[in-house]
Amino acid sequence: MSLLKVIVGSTNPVKINAVQSALTRLYPEFEIECQGIKAPSNVADQPMTSKTTRDGALNRAQYCKEQFQTKDKIDYFVAFEGGVDVFEDGPATFAYVAILTANQQSVSCSARLPLPKAIYNDLVKGEELGDVMDKRFHTQNIKQQGGAIGLLTNNCATRTSIYTEALTLAMAPFLYPEHY
């Protein structure tokens, strides 16, 4: 079985598991090896715009690529950034995923989860979504579990499922490069 090596710009098991899950489904003939590393986003801890969130994902993926470009052959550098923005229908949380290879890049965004105004107001005051959710729902470290998405959907959707979906969509240019 051939090996696909992936560097994930996070040590959060939710993000690493999402990459492992998506790539295992997309490449069943490969063994997938995911290594998570701390990668700076160079944006606020709680990005409050879509652009900032996208920039954070790209910054993390680029950092991974810079750290490993001269080492073992790495097939993909993947990073996620969760953020918040206000849209036509109100505030929502979402995530961007950035995937880099030696000569290609793809970025995609997850579905958006509408946020209650009270939670959004806490974020505007400078708190992070995971911390706000932990306080309001009496959980601990929810961001390394189902996240706000899990809490507000009765775990029908979770951070892992949303990240897996976003990564799967972002992989299209790598799966069918002749069409991109």
pLDDT digits (tens, 9 = 90+) for 88-118: 999 999 999 999 998 899 999 999 999 999 9
For residue 51, the Cα-to-chain-centroid distance in whole angstroms is 14
Helices 129-137 & 117-124, crossing angle to 10 degrees?
130
> Would you state the pLDDT for residue 147?
84
pLDDT exceeds cutoff 80 at 144: no
How many Cβ atoms are within 10 Å of 3's Cβ, its own excluded? 10
The kind and range of the H/E element at 84 are strand 76-87
- How does residue 168 score in pLDDT terms, banded at 50, 70 and 90? very high
Helix/strand number for the chain, H first, E second: 7, 6
- 8 A C-beta contact, residue 16 and residue 5: no
What is the percent of the chain where pLDDT is above 90? 86
Q: Percent of the chain scored above 70 by pLDDT? A: 99
Q: pTM for this structure?
A: 0.92
Mean pLDDT of 30-43: 97
Per-residue pLDDT, averaged over 25-53, amounts to 97
